[in-house]
Amino acid sequence: VNDFRNVSLSMLQAHFKKAQEQQQVGRVEFLPVNWHSSLHSTGVDVDLERITLPSINRLRHFINDTILDVFFYNSSTYCQTIVDTVASEMNRLHQLFLQRNPHFKGGVSIAGHSLGSLILFDLLTNQKADPEEDEHCAQQSRTTSSMGGIEEVKEILKKLELSEYCDVFEKEKMDRQALFLCTEKNLQEMGIPLGPRMKILHYISSETEMKLSSGCTHKAPVTPAQRLSHEQNLNVPLSQVSANYPQLNYKPTIFFAFGSPIGMFLTVRGVKRIDPNYSLPTCKGFFNIFHPFDPVAYRIEPMIVPDVEFEPMLLPHHKGRKRMHLELKEGLTRMSVDLKNNLLGSLRVAWQSFTRSPVPALEAGSTEAEAEADAEKQP
C-alpha cells in the first residue's frame, strides 16, 4: 500500500505538477481491505494442518495459504463469511475516511487483485441501483426515443418534399410508429391536403410491403431450442447464487481488476456471453488490467464481443520506459538478428574461398622467372 502511495505521489509531481500547485487535483489515498485474517481466524487452518500430508512441506503450506482460498470462496459457508467481511470493511473504511476528511468531495474507486477482484465483481454485480436513478434513466430513454421518432418523421417528410408540414406532425407528437398507423381520415383531420396525403399514404404502403417481403425472405425462423440457448447465455447469473451479498454505502466510480480470473470463473459458472449493454448497477467504469505472463489473469472482452478479435491495449510505464518483458524481447530479437547476419557473412566468405578457382603454384613461379629473364636481356 505504501508503494502505491509513493508511486502516485511521484506521478502527480511528474505529470500534474502545475495542477497540483494550483490545487486543482489532490493526492490519491489507498486504503487496504483485509479479509484473509477473518477467514482463517475460524480455526480452519488447524483442521487443514491436521489432514495435510507431511511430505513436500513448503509446497503444501503454499497451497494451503493461497490456492485453497479459491475453494473457500466456492463454498457456500465460507463465501458468505468472505463477502460479509469485505463489504463491512469497505463501508467502515469509507465512513472513517469521511469522518477524518469532512470536506472530501472526490470520487471513490475500488481495486482488487486476483481472487479479490472476483469478490469485488460479485459484490458489485449484486448491488441495487437507486430506484430514482433508474426512473430518471428510463424517463431520459423515453424522451430520447420520442425525440428520435420526431426527427425521423421530419426526415421522411423531407424525403417526400413535404417539409412545410413538419410543424403539424410535431404538434401532434407524431413518431414513426404513429405515422405508419395513420389513415387518410387521420391525415385529413390534421389538415393535410389531398396531394400530400396521397404521397404519405403511398410511402407508408410501399415501406410496409418492403418490410414484409424482406422479413419473409431473409429472416430465418428461430427454433425453441435456439431461443432457449440464447436466453440461457444471457440470463445465467454472473455471481454465485448461494451467497447473500451486502450493500455498500457508496457508489464506486471505477472498478480496477488486476490479474483477475473473472473471465475464467464466469465461464465455469456457465456464462458464455455477456450482454454488451450490461453494466454494474452502481459502478459504471471497469478496467481489466493484467500482465501478459500472469498465469491467473484472463480476458473478458471475448465474452462481450465474441466475433471480434483484437489485441489488448498496452499501458505505458509510468517512468516512460517499456516493460521488462518487452525490453527483453526486443533485446533478444536484435541479438538474434546480429548473430544471424554475422553467421551468414562468415558462411558467405567461406563459400567464396571454396568456390574460387585455384591458381597453380609452379605455373605462377615459372611465369615470374621468365619475366625476370626478359628484363635482364633488355639493354
Please report, in tens digits, the pLDDT of each residue of the chain (379 residues total).
Answer: 888 888 888 888 888 888 888 888 888 899 999 888 877 777 787 888 888 898 988 888 888 777 888 888 888 888 888 999 999 999 999 999 999 999 888 899 999 999 999 999 999 999 988 765 555 555 554 544 444 567 788 888 888 888 888 888 888 878 877 888 788 888 888 888 888 888 888 888 777 766 554 444 344 444 444 433 444 444 445 666 578 899 999 999 999 999 999 999 999 988 888 888 888 999 999 999 998 888 899 999 999 888 878 888 888 776 666 666 666 777 777 777 778 878 877 777 777 776 766 655 555 555 555 656 665 555 5
Eight-state DSSP code of residue 286 = E
Three cell numbers written together for 72: 473457500
Residue from 10, 41, 75, 114 carrying the catalytic annotation: 114
214 is catalytic: no
CATH architecture label of 132-229: Orthogonal Bundle (1.10)
Q: Kindly report the CA angle at 339 between 334 and 344, in degrees rounded to 5?
A: 130
Check: pTM over 0.75? Answer yes or no.
no
How many CB atoms are closer than 10 A to CB 333?
Answer: 10
Question: What element of type H or E holds 88?
Answer: helix 76-100
Q: What is the 3-state secondary structure (H, E, C) of 139-195?
A: HHHHHHHHHHHHHHHHHHHHHCCCHHHHHHHHHCCCCHHHHHCCCHHHHHHCCCCHH
Long-range contacts of 204-212 (CB under 8 A, 24+ apart): 204/179, 204/180, 207/180, 208/180
Q: Give the position of cell 491495449.
A: 313
Where along the chain do its domains lie? 31-126+247-304, 132-229, 324-353
What number of other Cβ atoms are within 10 A of residue 110's Cβ? Answer: 22
- CA–CA gap between residue 110 and residue 285 (Å, rounded): 10
